[in-house]
Amino acid sequence: MKQMRKLRDIALKDLLVVGKDRGSWILLLITPLAIIMVASFALGPAFKGELKSQLLASNLDQGQIGRQLTDALGGREGLQIVEATPEECQALSVGDKKYKTALVIPEDFSSRILTGSDTSLQVYVDPTDNVNRPFMVGMIDGAASRLSGMVSAVRVAVSEVVKFAPETEPVTVAADAAPAAVQQMSQDPPVALRIDSASGMREVNMFDTQVPGYSVMFLLFGVMLGAEMLLGERDAGTLGRLLVAPVSKSAIMGGKLVAQFCIAMAQMAILFGVGHFVFGMHLGNSIPGLILMIAVTAFTATAFGLLLASVVKTRRQATSLGTLIVILMSALGGSWWPLDIVPGFMQVLGHITITAWALDGINALIIKGKNFTDILPDMAVLLVYGCICFIAGIKMFKFRNA
C-alpha cells in the first residue's frame, strides 16, 4: 500500500507539471483541434454531396439526342456541365480557367442514331488527372453504352420488321423506332437504380472520419512528449536521486506511466467530446465499447512511448525518432486516408502499427455501426502489442545515463 501511495504521488506530480506547461497543451489539444477543423471543413463539400466535377461540353448536334445526352449528364449527381466551343474543349480551358475533361458531340449525332448508324463521341482528358478522370470517363461511357443499346435495339427492330414485311422501307422503320427508343431510355428506363445504405451503416459527416484519425495521431505525439520528459528527468538526475529514496523502481515507473495514461485519456476525451458536442460527430452504438477501445489505445501508446524512451540515449534522439515514427504510423495506419484505398501490401504493412488497429476498432463503432463484441479482436491485438512494449520497455529502461 505504501508503494501504491508513492506511485499515486509521482503520477499526480507529473500531471501537475504537464498541467502547468502551456506548450504541452498546445500540442495535445489546440493543434489537433485546429487540424481536425481545417481538414473537416475542407472535405465538407464532398461529404455533403456539394463537390461537383465540371465537364466542358460542346454540343454541335442539332437533334434531340445530343440535347438529351447533355441534359442526362448534367442531371447526374456530382457533375456540372459547362458549355464551350470545340476549340475550348480541345484546349481544356475557357479563358483563364482550366478543366480536366471535355466532351464534343458531333453534328450528325442524332441523325446517325435515328437511322441506326454507327457514330462516336469525342472526349478530351488531362493525362495528369488520375483522380477525376475515371469518374468522368466512366460516366460518359455509361451514357454512350445506353445509346449503343438503343441503336442495337433499333437495328433489331428494323431487321425483324423487314423480315416479316419485305416491302417496308428500313429507313422509315428506323425513323419510327428510334424516337420511341430514345423516349423509353430517357424517360422510363427499363432498369432503375436503387441506392441504399448497407445494413447497420449510417450516413457519415466529415468529423466522423477526421476526428478519430487525427486524435490517434496526436495521442501518439503526446506519449512521445512523455518519453522526452522521462528522458529529461533522467538527464537531470531526478530519476537517479529517486532511487535513493524508499521508492521502488516499479512505483516510479508506474507513477510515470499512470500519469501519461491519464493525460492520453483526457486528451482523447476532450477531442472526441468537442467532435460530438460542437460538430455533431456520431459516437456509435456502444459508448462503453468506444471508451474501452480508447483506453486500450491509450495504454498501448503509453507502453510504446516507454519502449521508445528505453532504446534512445538522448531527448534529441527521442524527438527525431519519435516524430518519424508517429508520421510513418499515421500515414501507414490510416490517420490521413482510409486504408481501403491503398494497395493490399500497404494494408498489411499498415497493420504493423498501433494506428491501424486502433482506427479499425474506433471506425467500426462510429462509422459501421458495430457493437462491442465486434471490436474484441482489435482490442486483443492492441493489448498484446501494448504488453510486449511495456515488458520490453521496463526491462530495457535505464534510470541513470551510462
Q: Are residues 88 and 166 in the same domain?
A: yes
Specify whether 95 is located in the same domain as 218.
no
Pairing of strands 93-94, 97-98: antiparallel
59, β-bridge pairs? 105
Is 118 a domain residue? yes
The pTM assigned to this predicted structure is 0.70
Cell of 125: 482528358
Among candidates 120, 119, 82, which has minimal Cα distance to 102?
82
Number of domains in the chain: 2
Residues 35 and 104 in one domain: no
The pLDDT score that the predictor gives to residue 290 is: 92
Q: Can you give the pLDDT at residue 27?
A: 64
Reading across the β-sheet that carries 53-59, which strands appear in turn?
A: 79-83, 53-59, 101-105, 122-125
In a domain, 128, yes or no: yes
Residue 88: how many other CB atoms lie within 10 Å: 19
160 and 253 both lie in a single domain? no
Q: Is 163 exposed, middle or buried (0-12, 13-18, 19+ CB in 10 A)?
A: exposed
Question: Is the residue at 196 inside a domain?
Answer: no
Domain boundary among 187, 213, 245: 187
What is the per-residue pLDDT for 362? 92
Classify residue 193: in a domain, yes or no. Answer: no
Q: Are residues 153 and 268 in the same domain?
A: no
d(CA 348, CA 352): 7
Same domain as 258, residue 158: no
Q: How far apart are CA 313 and CA 2, in angstroms?
A: 32
**Chunked in runs of 10, what are the mean pLDDT values of the chain (402 residues)?**
65 67 66 73 54 80 78 73 88 87 86 73 83 77 72 64 61 58 58 58 72 89 82 76 70 81 88 85 87 94 89 84 90 86 87 92 87 91 93 82 62
Return the CA Rg of the chain: 31
Residues 214 and 346 in one domain: yes
Residue 378 shares a structural domain with residue 260 = yes
At residue 339's C-alpha, the angle toward residues 334 and 342, to 5°, is: 120
Distance CA 200, CA 105 (A): 44
Residues 41 and 59 in one domain: no
Name the β-bridge partners of 97.
Answer: 94
Query: Which parts of 21-85 fold into alpha helices (H)?
Result: 22-25, 31-47, 64-74
**Residue where a domain terminates, one of 187, 213, 247:** 187
Q: What is the CATH number of the domain that holds 106?
A: 3.40.1710
Instruction: Report the Cα 305 to chain-centroid distance in Å.
Output: 26
The predicted pLDDT at position 258 comes to 85
**Residue 198 maps to a domain:** no
CA distances from 311 to 275, 277, 304, 327 (A): 36, 40, 11, 19
Are 150 and 180 part of one and the same domain? Answer: yes
According to the model, what pLDDT value does residue 381 have? 95
Crossing angle between the packed helical segments 287-311 and 376-396, to the nearest 10 degrees: 30
Distances from the Cα of 362 to the Cα of 63, 188, 262, 372, angstroms: 55, 43, 19, 10
DSSP assignments along 38-49, one per residue: HHHHHHHHHHTT
Asked if 211 and 281 touch (Cβ cutoff 8 Å), the reply is yes
Per-residue model confidence (pLDDT) at position 383: 94
Element (DSSP H or E) covering residue 227: helix 206-236
Q: Let me know whether 154 and 29 are in one domain.
A: no
Residue 199 in domain = no
Shared domain check, 10 and 66: no
Residue 40 to residue 213: CA distance in whole angstroms: 11
Which of 130, 155, 187 terminates a domain? The answer is 187
Which residues span the domain enclosing 333?
2-45+204-396
Residue 30 lies in a domain: yes
> What is the C-alpha separation between 333 and 359, in angstroms, rounded?
8
Supply the pLDDT for residue 163: 65
Report if residue 401 sits inside a domain: no
Q: How many CA atoms lie within 13 A of 231 on its CB side?
A: 23
Q: What pLDDT sits at residue 24? A: 63
Give 279: exposed, middle or buried? Use CB within 10 Å, 0-12, 13-18, 19+: middle
